Structure 1
């Protein structure tokens, strides 16, 4: 039965009504077009052309779910134009439904092989699905068919970038801009590429140009925020995300980036809410699942975190590699080393040429000189297609670790110097200002101040603070204490710095604080940690940088104890220099700055040692723990006021989460190989030794 002759409104036939509807749409009269389509569907409930136009209208009004629903109905019919399937593919891509998008796009190109828009859509979908070689083939076809169209060059460049072919990507971006200088999307994408190449100022300028051209281009704000995060300019990144969310409050990528920024400031509950909001908007967003996993991991919800990493890895997209690495690292953190090794192996199986996996698994193993990983990582650094600068940095640190393991000082420091230099170039650090700050802290804590407010703080015996330089044995001491059934090791908490920051400027405001202020800061701190293992008699806060607040702790928490971990200064600094820290240790990436910072830290602790209450302050030397584990362990347990438990001697068997650079070492029994380790590498430590005022050992002593 021919339904085309059925009358619609005003006695129009179906074809006449549809033609008029499309004419209204093309003239910008969406409401009239929509009314005619709905009238057509009243007469012919499954008319595909009407569904298609309704889908375009819904999409124009930002109703993506409705648009997809309409286009799905349009594409149910086998003979619909290929354009309908191509449009459905693009809308599914925007929704993150990449499998359905690919299926629709492939149907479009099969129906009409000359439909350039369909090949273009398919190329983008394959790119976002992580199928880069197939994407490249599609987009090269589009470029050959439309050599004067800038859009395919932009899309092709994006795929080249994903493949790590940065030179080809840059050429394509430049070609697109030559064809269209005001192409905002290309300026934004080029910014992200320049960031990967380590050309940060150029990257920022390119992203800002994109925003100047199109102030509503969401990706430009997002890319600019990512660039600022990569060089640890978190306040600037926050401004960009706030600007994006001001006009796109439901932008899932922006909400995910905000969650990452909140994590950087240790506002984990707020980060959790942001990540969950992103997923409520984009339920199949792999990046949001990956970030949610990171937040849950930081909150100690490890099974839930693993499930999120699994989900991120399973979803279509380009996040799977990162998620699989995160999953393996989570197992390391949980002390499940065999599962971690298996997870790294699986990640390499899925991504055989992954620099990220190779570098990430370096802490899970001790290298031998014949380890094939060493040759593979060396080859990755010299291949024609260079890794992104962040991956190069990770490879240098991994190789530095590998060569330290094998005793090859020359190669170790070649790579460590390279890795540290790359990292150091990403941020600003004022050595003199940091030193002056520590001097001000030392001067603020006078005997008179300590005496005046010695009973001002909130009374609690529960907190135990472990402070000192990173890599000075703080994790080892925490693990010994946390092996006691009555003591909870909380890891590196930001609770104290948050409580102090909330009260004012430190140490500038110290002179005006009274008894009530000190008590309030202490109560604020306790409120932040009260929910952590409430049944434990002692809670260990192992944030090494809390040495900056060591003088303040007795004033705000009158019952708290402080354990200061010390280690040979050169061994400490060498260990710092060999690690790419997850947190912000800005002083750690140049040997001379490391030494200067350590001298400032020593001077501060020398000053505080004179005023801290001796019954609440204990100093523990790493070397003493290595030489006399039981004696020092008993001393620690006695200091925190707990009865002895033999489990403290088997600390390496304790199943608990360890979130520090010492995650692998703390799972092993005490070993003495790191004592005096620096002497074997003294020839490469000149700037550090000079800054510390330490003489290089004689050749025969190395």
Structure 2
């Protein structure tokens, strides 16, 4: 080599040393100048490109950082760490396939480099390749046992594999090595939340925020904890705190969309969900959230496409997305496609509680069914399984054993599932009864007389009210089969209209004519577009029975249909269902019976004061015995001409979002009448609360 070449090499070496020195001293401009001098003399010099990539990354320019690292890794003798760092940056960008390639190249070049195994493990984790991720991360902690970050990542993968016992152990090992690790506190909070340990989870999430007030995941995990407790205002406050410093954080946008959808602010939820997809089009969770929100809007085809996109993208929501798509197909009456979708999803996720329970609830079991053993094995692994998963499988087994007429095993699982579900929230049955009594007292007959006709003038709304599982879905399906009626399902619009006015029923005494008219107009603004140009819109939210008096004031033209069913049959059906909504009264037999009694007393009050031309009661048993007679009575109540399609309600292809989705796709059957007598030995507490002798 010539002296000139040696001097040039020495010069480049010195320039790189000075670049690193300036960067380490926080002097970014000088560091960049030296890197550019190196590249001017030696285009493509890997070390300078690598340092420029790290600098770009630290300043938030991820695209530029990746461009520099890609070029650096093309050098023949580029060290393994360059490919490892590239893998991490590509992961952050969501380019998981290329990230995996870079990560595998790095560990092949230097199998003793723990950070390379760690980075590859995270990439594989986000790609949903959890078993491969576990192998990589176990290699990382074997090479560097005192590395808290690697233990935390291994815990994350263990959680995704369903090894919750190992996950908690690994998180605690990470905290033992670094008690100030905010991310580990946050992740352990999420794990404990899934196990129903909300108090511990909240403390850990808040500790994570104290340690790092800008750790986005800590806010998201705290919001999850509050969501599990049904503290929805707190959920939104936590997410507002996150948005204050990270308004474009994809996870924050996704969480906000979910929270808004849950509290009925679906239009706002759709805006946030679309924004999340626009910002991160390769983000599976964003597409999954968009699918959920679209589903609530009734955009079935677009929702199915979004579920499909979420299932195909790399990430951790494929299982949920496949379940959501199968369930939506079922709700749309496309049962064969739905069952095929469940089977296809279980080929990918054979150990999924979500899918196993979903498929179990969608079909009828027969003796010797292979799924019994699969489901039983699942709930036997208590230490490994998250509590919500075990709850759903216990309910699925209860339903399955009822299918094969084995009530002993059925109620063993139903009782366990109900107890576990009930342990996860606070509910005061006595306070509920007192509240319903106050509702009745707030609506004396003279109030309705004084404000008669003052509300918004529209006869479009038809409210179907009653207890859950009392036949509300059947009535809606009969009515919505008429050519002039749209069934909108269980709308939360009225509840949100009421809650916006303050504490109910306390504000009722202050209502005047303008206030009740404004309340009615608010409801109509939220729901009129859903009628799709038809004369009537059916709002089948059973719990609207508490607002029946308010409906009569605010919407004097509205019709109210009260669905009734035998008390014991109604409550038994509630007890055997895991509801998706907040039916907090349903998971304890005594509380369930007490709630029914409170409901019956409130309905007796409405029966006495509501105008007869706007209020009708339909007994489920009467519909079963005389479908045509009761269907004609309902159609007459709406003042419509008869439509034979009302007798073929089971052919109606509209989307049905309810626990009764399977029943309304079948003709009337009588087996559910008096069903409670077969199971009286298992529902003694319920019967006692209802005042029924076994």
| Shorter-chain TM band | over 0.9
Match of 1:140 among 138, 141, 145: 138
What is the correspondence of 1:353-392 to structure 2 with a 5 Å cutoff? 353-383=351-381, 386-392=384-390
Is 1:179 matched up with 2:209?
no
**Alpha-carbon offset, residue 549 of structure 1:** 0.9
Alpha-carbon contact 1:413-1:684 (below 8 Å) kept: yes
Match of 1:600 among 593, 598, 601: 598
Match of 1:272 among 270, 273, 277: 270
What is the correspondence of 1:284-363 to structure 2 with a 5 Å cutoff? 284-363=282-361
**Alpha-carbon offset, residue 15 of structure 1:** 3.2
Alpha-carbon contact 1:4-1:14 (below 8 Å) kept: no
Alpha-carbon contact 1:380-1:386 (below 8 Å) kept: no
The worse-fitting range, judged by mean Cα deviation, of 38-47 and 390-399 is: 38-47
Alpha-carbon contact 1:123-1:136 (below 8 Å) kept: yes
Is 1:219 matched up with 2:217?
yes
- In the alignment, the residues of structure 2 paired with residue 37 and residue 487 of structure 1 have an alpha-carbon distance, to the nearest angstrom, of 71
Match of 2:405 among 404, 407, 430: 407
**Alpha-carbon offset, residue 44 of structure 1:** 4.2
What is the correspondence of 1:11-30 to structure 2 with a 5 Å cutoff? 13-30=11-28
Alpha-carbon contact 1:456-1:515 (below 8 Å) kept: yes
Alpha-carbon contact 2:232-2:263 (below 8 Å) kept: no
What is the correspondence of 1:40-59 to structure 2 with a 5 Å cutoff? 40-59=38-57
1:694 aligned residue:
692
5+ residue gaps, structure 1: 697-702
1:521 aligned residue:
519
Alpha-carbon contact 2:190-2:225 (below 8 Å) kept: yes
Match of 1:36 among 14, 34, 37: 34
Is 1:247 matched up with 2:245?
yes
What is the correspondence of 1:501-540 to structure 2 with a 5 Å cutoff? 501-540=499-538
The worse-fitting range, judged by mean Cα deviation, of 177-186 and 84-93 is: 177-186
- In the alignment, the residues of structure 1 paired with residue 54 and residue 151 of structure 2 have an alpha-carbon distance, to the nearest angstrom, of 26
Change (3 A) 1:316 1:573: same
- In the alignment, the residues of structure 2 paired with residue 324 and residue 462 of structure 1 have an alpha-carbon distance, to the nearest angstrom, of 37
1:578 aligned residue:
576
The worse-fitting range, judged by mean Cα deviation, of 632-641 and 119-128 is: 119-128
SS in 2 for 1:458: coil
Listed one character per residue, the Cα deviations across residues 606-651 of structure 1 (whole Å, up to 9, x for unaligned) are 0111110001110000000000000000000000110001110000
**Alpha-carbon offset, residue 151 of structure 1:** 2.2
**Alpha-carbon offset, residue 482 of structure 1:** 0.5
Match of 2:649 among 648, 651, 657: 651
Alpha-carbon contact 2:650-2:665 (below 8 Å) kept: yes
- In the alignment, the residues of structure 2 paired with residue 362 and residue 549 of structure 1 have an alpha-carbon distance, to the nearest angstrom, of 35
- In the alignment, the residues of structure 2 paired with residue 129 and residue 111 of structure 1 have an alpha-carbon distance, to the nearest angstrom, of 22
SS in 2 for 1:579: coil
Alpha-carbon contact 2:549-2:610 (below 8 Å) kept: yes
Match of 1:566 among 564, 567, 588: 564
Alpha-carbon contact 2:326-2:338 (below 8 Å) kept: yes
Alpha-carbon contact 2:486-2:532 (below 8 Å) kept: no
1:487 aligned residue:
485
1:700 aligned residue:
none
Alpha-carbon contact 2:112-2:143 (below 8 Å) kept: no
Is 1:121 matched up with 2:119?
yes
- In the alignment, the residues of structure 1 paired with residue 653 and residue 10 of structure 2 have an alpha-carbon distance, to the nearest angstrom, of 77
**Alpha-carbon offset, residue 258 of structure 1:** 1.0
Change (3 A) 1:5 1:296: farther
Listed one character per residue, the Cα deviations across residues 442-500 of structure 1 (whole Å, up to 9, x for unaligned) are 11111111111111011112111101111100000000000011111111111212222
**Alpha-carbon offset, residue 329 of structure 1:** 0.4
SS in 1 for 2:609: coil
- In the alignment, the residues of structure 2 paired with residue 384 and residue 197 of structure 1 have an alpha-carbon distance, to the nearest angstrom, of 10
**Alpha-carbon offset, residue 51 of structure 1:** 2.2
**Alpha-carbon offset, residue 3 of structure 1:** 14
- In the alignment, the residues of structure 2 paired with residue 4 and residue 581 of structure 1 have an alpha-carbon distance, to the nearest angstrom, of 80
1:151 aligned residue:
149
Aligned residues: 694
Listed one character per residue, the Cα deviations across residues 551-610 of structure 1 (whole Å, up to 9, x for unaligned) are 111211121110000000111111111111111111111111111111111000101111
Alpha-carbon contact 2:165-2:384 (below 8 Å) kept: no
The worse-fitting range, judged by mean Cα deviation, of 637-646 and 154-163 is: 154-163
- In the alignment, the residues of structure 2 paired with residue 651 and residue 341 of structure 1 have an alpha-carbon distance, to the nearest angstrom, of 22
- In the alignment, the residues of structure 1 paired with residue 380 and residue 312 of structure 2 have an alpha-carbon distance, to the nearest angstrom, of 32
2:101 aligned residue:
103
Alpha-carbon contact 1:445-1:551 (below 8 Å) kept: yes
Change (3 A) 1:342 1:517: same
The worse-fitting range, judged by mean Cα deviation, of 506-515 and 182-191 is: 182-191
SS in 1 for 2:60: coil
- In the alignment, the residues of structure 1 paired with residue 114 and residue 147 of structure 2 have an alpha-carbon distance, to the nearest angstrom, of 11
**Alpha-carbon offset, residue 384 of structure 1:** 7.3
The worse-fitting range, judged by mean Cα deviation, of 484-493 and 62-71 is: 62-71
**Alpha-carbon offset, residue 344 of structure 1:** 0.2
- In the alignment, the residues of structure 2 paired with residue 4 and residue 84 of structure 1 have an alpha-carbon distance, to the nearest angstrom, of 30
**Alpha-carbon offset, residue 668 of structure 1:** 0.4
Query: TM-score, with normalisation over the residues of structure 2?
Result: 0.97
- In the alignment, the residues of structure 1 paired with residue 665 and residue 439 of structure 2 have an alpha-carbon distance, to the nearest angstrom, of 36
Alpha-carbon contact 2:114-2:141 (below 8 Å) kept: no
1:65 aligned residue:
63
- In the alignment, the residues of structure 1 paired with residue 221 and residue 357 of structure 2 have an alpha-carbon distance, to the nearest angstrom, of 25
User: RMSD of aligned C-alpha atoms?
Assistant: 1.9
Listed one character per residue, the Cα deviations across residues 9-58 of structure 1 (whole Å, up to 9, x for unaligned) are xx994333222212211121112112332344445443332222121111
The worse-fitting range, judged by mean Cα deviation, of 353-362 and 559-568 is: 353-362
- In the alignment, the residues of structure 2 paired with residue 84 and residue 513 of structure 1 have an alpha-carbon distance, to the nearest angstrom, of 70
1:435 aligned residue:
433
- In the alignment, the residues of structure 1 paired with residue 31 and residue 277 of structure 2 have an alpha-carbon distance, to the nearest angstrom, of 34
- In the alignment, the residues of structure 1 paired with residue 5 and residue 339 of structure 2 have an alpha-carbon distance, to the nearest angstrom, of 69
Change (3 A) 1:403 1:42: same
2:421 aligned residue:
423
SS in 1 for 2:562: strand
SS in 1 for 2:613: helix
Alpha-carbon contact 2:254-2:286 (below 8 Å) kept: yes
Alpha-carbon contact 1:184-1:209 (below 8 Å) kept: yes
Listed one character per residue, the Cα deviations across residues 99-149 of structure 1 (whole Å, up to 9, x for unaligned) are 111111111111222222111111111122121221121111111111222
- In the alignment, the residues of structure 2 paired with residue 7 and residue 479 of structure 1 have an alpha-carbon distance, to the nearest angstrom, of 87
**Alpha-carbon offset, residue 211 of structure 1:** 2.1
Alpha-carbon contact 1:164-1:385 (below 8 Å) kept: no
Change (3 A) 1:3 1:329: farther
SS in 2 for 1:550: helix
Listed one character per residue, the Cα deviations across residues 487-531 of structure 1 (whole Å, up to 9, x for unaligned) are 111111112122222233321111111111111111111111121
5+ residue gaps, structure 2: none
What is the correspondence of 1:631-670 to structure 2 with a 5 Å cutoff? 631-670=629-668
Alpha-carbon contact 1:424-1:590 (below 8 Å) kept: yes
Alpha-carbon contact 2:185-2:207 (below 8 Å) kept: yes
